Amino acid sequence: MADSLILEIADLEHDVLTGIYSEETGKPQPLRITIQAKLKCAAHYAPDTPLDASKNYMDLKFAATEALPPGVHFKLIEAVADHICETLFLQDDRIEAVTVKIVKLAIAEAGEKIGITLTRERRE
């Protein structure tokens, strides 16, 4: 089994223009986003290993917040997840795969978690 490194940001809450129903359009909806990015792994991580041997976790947060185009309405949360994946692939060639889980907080009635999980692998 090959070594792997998964960077993760979990349960980030961010408002995004998304939805297909009239009550959803025109206003941002709160989403809970978890991102896992699989990177090519170094052979060893010593105490003094520099950051460029890995990836800044804040890049994952950026992909799910500031990198989403302002004013763009995503009909499907699948499209939000896809945009996050593509942003991360463009940021760093070492990313081999990205998994994005999105939960739509506004539609939960009894604390259930309603949403999607999208996994994309880098296409060469």
Taking alpha carbons only, the member of 32, 8, 12 closest to residue 112 is 32
- Strand partners of residue 117: 101
Reported as a single tens digit per residue, the pLDDT across 23-48 is 777 889 999 999 999 998 888 899 99
pLDDT band at 93 (very low <50, low <70, confident <90, very high): very high
| Residue bearing the bigger pLDDT, 41 or 117 | 117
pLDDT at 107 over 80: yes
Taking alpha carbons only, the member of 88, 94, 98 closest to residue 121 is 98
**Across 109-114, average pLDDT:** 88
How far apart, in Å, do the first and last CA atoms of the chain sit? 22
Average per-residue pLDDT in the chain? 93
Domains by residue range for the chain, with CATH: 5-121 (3.30.1130.10)
* 101 phi/psi in degrees, rounded to 5: -110, 130
**Across 67-79, average pLDDT:** 95
pLDDT band at 75 (very low <50, low <70, confident <90, very high): very high
Alpha helix (H) ranges present in 28-104? Answer: 58-64, 77-91
Threshold 0.85, pTM exceeds: yes
Reported as a single tens digit per residue, the pLDDT across 3-25 is 889 999 999 999 999 988 877 77
C-beta separation of 88 from 63 below 8 A:
yes
pLDDT at 74 over 80: yes
Q: What is the pLDDT of residue 26?
A: 81
